[in-house]
Amino acid sequence: MKIIENGKEIILTPIPELLNQNEEVYKSYLCDTEGGRIFSVRSGRFLVSNPNHKGYCYVSCRVGGKGRPYSVHVLVYSSYSGMKQSDWRAMGLEINHIQENSKHINEISNLELITHKQQFQDKHDPYIRAKMGTSRRLNVENARYILQAWIDYDGEKRSVFVWEIVERFGVGYQSIIDLLEGRSYKNLRGIV
């Protein structure tokens, strides 16, 4: 199926992963693999994706009248490859986001299938130390600065703010979420 969005033609393809549910669900959603987005045939719009606490984006697809969460990167790769997640898992493969700190970027150009072992090899990913938990830690000055920046932030989406801070300070997504939600640097609450 093709649609026009902002004067640009977008090709939408079926998502084999949704065949795990039933034929109706499979026919209700299509994928823009180049844009990393899921399209609802029923509403005629792209679904809003929301990141979880680890930064992976999810969409809610209607299954039996209820919303069921699906990982956007799994649906995109399924649509691109024509396989279900169980197929590539049976081959010992998993999806890797190529760019560092880019779990929210689900375009097919940022996704690849590799083994679990490959994800943790320095040759494959020069940022592997950050993924393994040895990334830089925030100091009190940086935490205070981030909290003040959050107070002054006038953007609409928290995830955009968090990703900007992650890239600027080289820390993990969850570290920033914990700071903003008061689970870390609790002594700074009320001071900033």
Residues 45-97: tens digit of each pLDDT: 999 998 888 889 999 988 878 888 999 999 999 999 999 999 999 999 999 98
Question: Residue 50 belongs to what H/E stretch?
Answer: strand 50-51
Q: What angle do CA 155, 158, 161 make, to 5 degrees?
A: 70
List, edge to edge, every strand of the sheet that includes 45-46: 29-32, 37-40, 45-46
Q: H or E element: which one contains 185? A: none
The angle, 0 to 180 degrees and rounded to 10, between the axes of the packed helices 158-169 and 173-180 is: 120
192 and 143 Cβ atoms separated by less than 8 Å: no
Residue length of the chain = 192
C-alpha span between 124 and 104 (Å, rounded): 20
Q: Are strands 50-51 and 45-46 parallel, antiparallel or unpaired?
A: unpaired
Please say whether the beta carbons of 18 and 75 come within 8 A. yes
The string of pLDDT tens digits covering residues 107-127 is 999 999 998 888 766 555 555
142 vs 156, residue with greater confidence: 142
**Residues ≥6 apart with Cβ < 8 Å to 9:** 2, 3
Lowest mean pLDDT among 17-31, 35-49, 102-116: 17-31
Q: Is 191 exposed, middle or buried (0-12, 13-18, 19+ CB in 10 A)?
A: exposed
